[in-house]
Every structure is written in C-alpha cells, then in structure tokens.
Amino acid sequence: MDVNSIFKNEPNPNIPTLAPGDTVKVSAKIVERGRERTQVFQGVVIKLRRGADGGNFTVRRVTRGVGVEHTFPFSSPLVEKVEVTRHGKVRRARLYYMRGLSSKASRTKEKREKE
C-alpha cells in the first residue's frame, strides 16, 4: 500500500518553483467568524521540505522587531497565489541562521541572471 494512493495530494498550480533565499508574497485565504478574506504574507523562504504528503515551505519576516514564521503546504487550496519578488543568492538549503540576525543583517544578495 502506497501513501500516494491513499491521499490524493495534488500540488497547487498557483505556487511557482521556489528556492531558499527567495523573497515571496504569499496570498492566503483566512476564515474568521464565517467570513473569508485574503491576507498577504511577504518574507524570505528559509526552508523547503518535499515529501510524500506534498511538502511545505516556511516563510520568515521581521515585523516590529519580532520574527514571524509561517509554514504553507504545497498542496493547500487555501494558498491563492505565490509571487516571487526576488531571487536570493544563498549557499545553504536551510536558512535557520537568519533567526539570530537583525532584519538588516538578514538581507540576502540578489541572484544574478545568467547572460
């Protein structure tokens, strides 16, 4: 018996190919008191996880001096769209070291396009 045969996790077509260090804007549906609204969360992708359940990605931002991380599943229908604003140049797969940096020090260089 295969996990994929039990759960039909189809990837969300609104999520492009991501890489650690990318700055993204994630538009997610939020349900509060029976109402539904869209909330935008902008930050740096610090972790990608692939797996049999579809995987997820974690986005981090610093708001008023407090670090906030949010994890979004790749197969979630609540993620309306993901927009990559810039591609960061990093040399690691997991950017956990950014948790200890200030917001200015945690900025990544931009990846240059190959010409």
The residues spanned by each domain of the chain are: 3-89
Fold of 3-89: SH3 type barrels. (2.30.30)
Region 39-50: mean pLDDT is 94
Secondary structure of 22-91 in the HEC alphabet?
CEEEEEEEEEECCEEEEEEEEEEEEEEECCCCCCEEEEEEEECCEEEEEEEECCCCCEEEEEEEECEECC
Closest CA to 22 of 96, 66, 86: 86
Which range scores top for mean pLDDT: 10-14, 53-57, 79-83?
A: 79-83
* Cβ proximity of 22 and 45 under 8 Å: yes
**pTM for the full model?**
0.81
pLDDT at 108 over 90: no
pLDDT value of residue 19 = 92
